[in-house]
């Protein structure tokens, strides 16, 4: 049985002291303990940004790629080796900005991965420019007169396009987030968790602002009800609902058909083409 | 016999491809070597396109310009392509028109004597078969192969259509069509670049392709998707080329031999991914099917315009390999080589093709004896403490894939330490990692094959070329020889890194390229300090041909 220490990495942490990212890291480790996953069974994939550094702070397989491109990489890994538990760790700039196209197509493609977005509503690593989720009116170095384009609500987009697992967590509610992550990983196909992670250096509002508004979904929330889910996905000035917003019957996952018809296991373990088979194929090209 | 050239011309949607394919297969079956290539506009219907079939006894896989026989499916086609006809050539047309043409109303015959306009194409092939002096039986065998799946009735109608066309040509052509192609014993493989590459990839152990459709490389992912079960290759149409290359990199990291295929514009989007492959040291094969640019250029035409782009693709300094196949057989061999080298050196390998090589069908006496796939994954049981980027004298670190064993596989696009973790230790590991990656380049260079040399001591000049222009250059040399002009060839198919190579001294060098600026010339000038007597270009979207090379030599170099 793994413990939290199982996942301790000795890479030096580069986050600001006190950053809510530490809470997310803790929640991820706890989730893997609960899921009883060994480090070599886990593969974390990330792009660029503060969130994208997380895989280094966990002992596991990792692919830290390019800005916005983690989802395609993770989709490829999942096809190549379906036995791995593959998670994308990304931020709002990474996933909703640079990688927005890939995220939307991942909803269609439905790879069996979990996408966890550290949503701090800001570009932190490039020092505080607006991100696709920065609230209207925020003045930033590039948004000199204040943000005047509408922020994205990606959970709503995911729900309307029938992503079959959509949740929102809060970096300061570690155990709650852990429970969401455990369910997300278990869910076949794409599971998506947007995590509110107030940045204490560049953030738009103090952590307390979020703490006052975060509201755990109660037993009465029917996550199978799309309309109710959409309602809960909405963030207002008063409440930020967290929990599993939407969960429905899994759709057939990316490469499912290939796996059922060709191979269930890692592609690297498939037998090579025989010389006879090649000969037979080439013979068709002699008219 | 001298090679014959049959050109079939018509609008898109009129069936020139069907006619061309059936005729090509029939001639192959008759024992001849066939080279078939198409030029077409970027549209689904209309326009005027051509399908040229070169027939000979021995493989001569270069396009011919002049036509012995022109089959025009409409008046516009006759007008557009009539100029290609040799003096003694014959124009066969659907419509009555200019003097001297043979008019055969394929459509009418099909409707009235066979039972439907859809058989007009087979009527046309029947006529051509007669004109070429080939038996109907050979054609019938090909028709059987082509149509048997569509049922007895359709097959019978096609037999009838062929016969009607054959008879009509027999009646109308008379002694104006002196050709005869009696059956021969030889059998050639007849294959295009886009057919050879997917098979080679599957044979080389490729298990994953993700690509975004783009002419002229689309055929590669299409073929792999169709043969998904038989070949065992997973094929995905990505949302864009950026996703395509990143997915392939994910699969490569995950232990599967992976590839993508695209053309210039798509390749431009893949460039950041190529750099990522370089930094993470993830093996990847990228087929770059060239067509004229910049931007969308001429989408369905051919060019060799992306050589320097491919060589320079990716920011930062890292080793990669660039290969350019000369024909489908070479493309097969190079595809296997690309996978082997990508795997051995853990680098991106770019295989250059172009629209000509991708789409044209070439003939080969022997399409066999290819290299075997060689795998370089490390054995986890032999490793105690695993470091993905372990320093080594030749820069090659043992590669494992995640989930293969208890060892963890960590890769990073940031500069990293031996374990794959981000580092900014400038005075320590950073420099060693740069050197480690570049060390692979040195070793790789020693494995690059030198160019092919075709020349003797008494040549007046040597044509230096690369990639798909090989057959045209060889033909150009042959044509010049008939005029007592002695030329040789040095031909590159492995272009980056360039091999250690000594160019002959005291003989004029010309580069021959399907581009406007002489990219090979620039490369060789900068790498070898060579100077060139001349550069011979073609950049109108059409392929180099022997005749074109000959005429350019005459135009530019009268004193040879
Ligand atoms: S800049 Fe913000 S998000 Fe980044 S580590 Fe510091 S507090 Fe966390």
Q: What are phi and psi of A175, to 5 degrees?
A: -70, -35
Average pLDDT over residues A28-38: 98
Instruction: With beta carbons less than 8 A apart as the criterion, state whether A56 and A81 touch.
Output: no
Specify the ligand 1 atom closest to the Cα of A15: 5
A199 C-beta closer than 6 A to ligand 1 = yes
Q: Does position A264 have pLDDT exceeding 80, yes or no?
A: yes
What token pair was written down for B39? 């030029």
At residue B558, the pLDDT reads 56
Question: Tokens 């490369």 sit at which residue?
Answer: B523
Name every residue whose Cβ is closer than 8 Å to that of residue A32 and which is 6 or more positions away in sequence.
A2, A6, A7, A42
B410 interfacial to chain A (CB closer than 8 Å): yes
Summarised one tens digit per residue, pLDDT across range A184-238 is: 999 999 999 999 999 999 998 999 999 999 999 999 999 999 999 999 999 998 9
- Residue A74 has what pLDDT? 98
B289 has which bridge partners? B353
Instruction: Render B44-58 in DSSP notation, one character per residue.
Output: SSEEEEEEEEEEESS
* Pocket flag, ligand 1, residue A202 (CB < 6 Å): yes
Partner-chain contact A73 B249, CB within 8 Å: yes
Per CB-CB distance under 8 Å, the chain A contacts of B272 are 66, 69
Q: Do A80 and B254 touch (CB under 8 A)?
A: yes
Angle among Cα B18, B335, B397 to the nearest 5 degrees reads 155
The rounded percent of chain A whose pLDDT value lies above 90 is: 98
pLDDT at B97: 63
Query: Residue B102: its pLDDT value, please?
Result: 87
User: For atom 8 of ligand 1, which residue has the closest CA?
Assistant: A19
Question: What pLDDT, on a 0 to 100 scale, did the predictor assign at position B98?
Answer: 64
Is any atom of ligand 1 closer than 6 Å to the C-beta of A201? Answer: yes
Q: What is the SS3 assignment for B136? A: helix
Cβ atoms of B320 and B496 within 8 Å: the answer is: yes
The alpha carbon of residue B417 is apart from the nearest alpha carbon of chain A, in Å, by 10
- SS3 of residue A73 by DSSP: helix
The encoded tokens of residue A44 equal 């974390």
CB neighbours (10 Å) of residue B469?
30
Of A108, A153, A109, A160, nearest in space to A135 by CA: A153
Could you give the CA distance from residue B520 to residue B311 in angstroms, rounded to a whole number?
11
- B136-147 and B152-173 helices, crossing angle to 10°: 150
Q: How far apart are CA A18 and CA A15, in angstroms?
A: 8
- The CA distances from residue A270 to B40, B195, B207, B249, B379, in Å, are 40, 23, 8, 18, 16
Size of interface A-B (CB pairs under 8 A): 200
Chain A contacts of B190, Cβ < 8 Å? 285-287
Strands B361-364 and B189-192: antiparallel
Ligand 1 pocket mutation, candidates A20, A50, A53, criterion most atoms within 8 A of CB: A50
Within B430-533, strands assigned E span: 452-454, 461-466, 487-492, 494-496, 508-513
Residue B322 makes CB contacts below 8 A (sequence gap 6+) with B307, B310, B311, B349, B350, B352, B494, B495, B496
Q: Chain A contacts of B243, Cβ < 8 Å?
A: 69, 72, 101-102, 105
Per-window interface: B 261-290 vs A, CB < 8 A: 272-273, 276, 280
Gyration radius (Cα) of chain A, Å: 20
The CB of A51 under 6 Å from ligand 1? The reply is: no
Angle between helical axes of A174-186 and A21-35 (0-180°, round to 10): 50
3-state class (DSSP) for residue B189: strand
Residue B461: the pLDDT is 96
**Searching chain A, which residue's CA lies closest to the CA of residue B425?**
A12
Which DSSP category does A8 fall into? Answer: B
User: How far is it, in rounded angstroms, from Cα B389 to Cα B397?
Assistant: 6
A261/B228 CB distance under 8 A? yes
The tens digit of pLDDT for each residue in A85-144 reads 999 999 999 999 999 999 999 999 999 999 999 999 999 999 999 999 999 999 999 999
Looking at residue B173, what is its pLDDT? 86
B24 inside 8 A of chain A by CB:
yes
d(CA B444, CA A25): 41
Q: Residues A40-63: pLDDT tens digits?
A: 999 999 999 999 999 999 999 999
Pair B157, A254: CB distance under 8 Å? no
CB contact under 8 A, B255 and A105: no
Ordered DSSP codes for A117-163: EEE-SSBTTTTSB--TTPPTT---SSSTT---SPPP-HHHHHHHTT-
Nearest ligand 1 atom to alpha carbon A120: 3
A133 lines ligand 1 (CB under 6 A): no
Nearest CA to ligand 1 atom 5: A15
Task: Mark yes or no for CB contact A61/B410 under 8 Å.
Answer: yes
Distance of alpha carbon A188 from alpha carbon A115, whole angstroms: 12
Chain centroid to Cα B192, Å, comes to: 7
A16 lines ligand 1 (CB under 6 A): yes
Substitution site in A123, A200, A210 for ligand 1 pocket (most atoms within 8 Å of beta carbon): A200
**Chain A residues lying within 8 Å of B250, measured CB to CB:** 45, 63, 72-80
- Give the separation between CA A213 and CA A208, rounded to whole angstroms: 9
Q: Would you say B282 and B346 are in contact if contact means Cβ atoms under 8 Å apart?
A: yes
The pLDDT of residue B559 is 53
B228 touches chain A (CB under 8 A): yes
Cβ atoms B78, B70 nearer than 8 A: yes
pLDDT at A36 over 80: yes
Nearest atom in ligand 1 to the alpha carbon of residue A203 is 2
* Sign of the CA dihedral running B476, B481, B487, B493: positive
Name the residue of chain A whose CA is nearest to B274's CA. A66
Mean pLDDT by groups of 10 residues along chain B of 560 residues = 95 92 97 95 88 97 95 93 93 78 91 93 96 96 94 95 95 88 96 98 98 98 94 97 98 98 98 98 98 96 98 98 98 98 98 98 96 96 97 98 98 97 93 97 97 96 98 97 96 97 95 98 96 94 96 77
Angstrom distance (rounded) from CA B192 to CA B553: 29
Local structure of residue A64 (DSSP, 8 states)? E
Cα A15 to ligand 1 centre (Å): 6
Q: Among the residues of B379-428, which ranges form H helices?
A: none
Q: Ligand 1 centre from A9 Cα, in Å?
A: 20
Using the Cβ of B29 and the Cβ atoms of chain A, whether some distance falls under 8 Å is answered with yes
Cα–Cα dist A244/A182, whole Å: 11
């Amino acid at each position: 049985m793994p413990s939290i220490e199982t996942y301790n990495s000795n890479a030096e942490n580069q986050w600001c002291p006190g950053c809510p990212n530490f809470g997310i890291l803790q929640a991820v480790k706890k989730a893997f303990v609960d899921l009883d996953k060994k480090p070599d069974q886990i593969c974390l994939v990330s792009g660029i940004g503060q969130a994208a550094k997380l895989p280094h702070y966990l002992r596991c397989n990792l692919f830290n790629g390019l800005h916005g491109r983690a989802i395609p990489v993770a989709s490829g890994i999942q096809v190549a080796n379906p036995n791995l538990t593959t998670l994308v760790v990304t931020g709002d700039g990474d996933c909703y900005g640079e990688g927005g196209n890939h995220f939307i197509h991942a909803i269609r493609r439905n790879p069996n991965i979990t996408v966890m977005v550290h949503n701090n509503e800001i570009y932190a690593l490039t020092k505080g420019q607006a991100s696709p989720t920065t609230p209207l009116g925020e003045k930033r170095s590039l948004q000199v007169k204040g943000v005047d384009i509408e922020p994205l609500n990606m959970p709503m987009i995911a729900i309307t396009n029938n992503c079959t697992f959509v949740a929102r967590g809060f970096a300061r509610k570690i155990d709650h987030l852990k429970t969401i992550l455990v369910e997300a990983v278990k869910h076949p196909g794409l599971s998506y968790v947007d995590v509110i992670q107030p940045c204490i250096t560049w953030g738009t509002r103090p952590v307390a602002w979020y703490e006052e508004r975060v509201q755990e979904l109660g037993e009465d929330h029917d996550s199978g009800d799309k309309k109710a889910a959409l309602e809960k996905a909405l963030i207002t000035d008063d409440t930020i609902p967290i929990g599993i917003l939407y969960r429905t019957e899994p759709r057939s996952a990316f490469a499912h058909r290939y796996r059922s018809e060709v191979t269930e296991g890692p592609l690297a373990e498939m037998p090579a083409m025989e010389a006879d088979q090649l000969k037979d194929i080439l013979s068709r090209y002699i008219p | 016999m001298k090679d014959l050239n049959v050109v079939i011309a018509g609008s898109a949607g009129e069936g020139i491809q069907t006619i061309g394919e059936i005729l090509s297969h029939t001639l192959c079956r008759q024992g001849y070597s066939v080279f078939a290539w198409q030029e077409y506009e970027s549209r689904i219907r209309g326009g005027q396109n051509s399908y040229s079939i070169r027939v000979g006894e021995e493989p001569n896989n270069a396009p011919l310009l002049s036509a012995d026989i022109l089959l025009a499916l409409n008046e516009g086609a006759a007008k557009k392509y009539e100029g290609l006809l040799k003096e003694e050539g014959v124009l066969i047309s659907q419509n009555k028109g200019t003097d001297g043409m043979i008019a055969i109303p394929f459509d009418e015959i099909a409707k009235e004597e066979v039972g439907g306009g859809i058989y007009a194409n087979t009527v046309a092939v029947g006529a051509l078969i007669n004109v070429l002096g080939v038996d109907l039986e050979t054609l019938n065998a090909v028709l059987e192969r082509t149509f048997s799946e569509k049922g007895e009735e359709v097959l019978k109608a096609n037999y009838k259509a062929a016969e009607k066309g054959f008879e009509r040509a027999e009646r109308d052509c008379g002694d104006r069509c002196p050709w005869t192609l009696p059956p021969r014993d030889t059998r050639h493989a007849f294959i295009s670049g886009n057919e050879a590459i997917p098979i080679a990839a599957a044979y080389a152990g490729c298990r994953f392709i993700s690509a975004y459709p783009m002419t002229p490389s689309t055929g590669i992912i299409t073929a792999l998707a169709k043969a998904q079960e038989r070949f065992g290759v997973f094929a995905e149409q990505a949302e864009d080329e950026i996703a395509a290359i990143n997915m392939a990199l994910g699969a490569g990291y995950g232990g599967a031999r992976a590839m993508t295929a695209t053309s210039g514009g798509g390749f431009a989007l893949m460039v950041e991914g190529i750099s990522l492959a370089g930094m993470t040291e993830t093996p990847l094969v990228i087929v770059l099917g060239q067509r004229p640019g910049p931007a969308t250029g001429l989408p369905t035409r051919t060019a060799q315009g992306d050589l320097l782009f491919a060589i320079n693709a990716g920011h930062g300094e890292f080793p990669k390999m660039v290969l350019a196949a000369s024909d489908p057989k070479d493309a097969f061999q190079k595809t296997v080589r690309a996978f082997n080298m990508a795997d051995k050196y853990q680098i991106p390998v770019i295989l250059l093709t172009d629209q000509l090589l991708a789409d044209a069908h070439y003939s080969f006496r022997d399409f066999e004896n290819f290299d075997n796939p060689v795998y370089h994954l490390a054995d986890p049981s032999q490793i105690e403490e695993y470091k993905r980027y372990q320093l080594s004298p030749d820069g090659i670190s043992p590669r494992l894939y995640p989930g293969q064993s208890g060892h963890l596989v960590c890769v990073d696009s940031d500069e990293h330490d031996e374990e794959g973790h981000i580092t900014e230790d400038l005075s320590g590991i950073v420099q060693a990692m740069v050197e480690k990656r570049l060390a692979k380049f040195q070793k790789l260079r020693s494995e690059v094959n030198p160019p092919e040399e075709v020349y003797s001591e008494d040549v007046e000049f040597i044509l230096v070329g690369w990639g798909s222009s090989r057959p045209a250059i060889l033909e150009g040399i042959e044509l010049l020889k008939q005029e007592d002009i002695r030329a040789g060839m040095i031909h590159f198919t492995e272009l980056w890194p360039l091999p250690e190579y000594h160019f002959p001294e005291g003989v004029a060098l010309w580069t021959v390229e399907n581009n406007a600026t002489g990219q090979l010339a620039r490369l060789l000038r900068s790498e070898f300090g060579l100077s060139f007597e001349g550069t011979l270009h073609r950049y109108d979207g059409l392929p180099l041909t022997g005749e074109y090379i000959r005429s350019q030599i005459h135009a530019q170099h009268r004193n040879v």
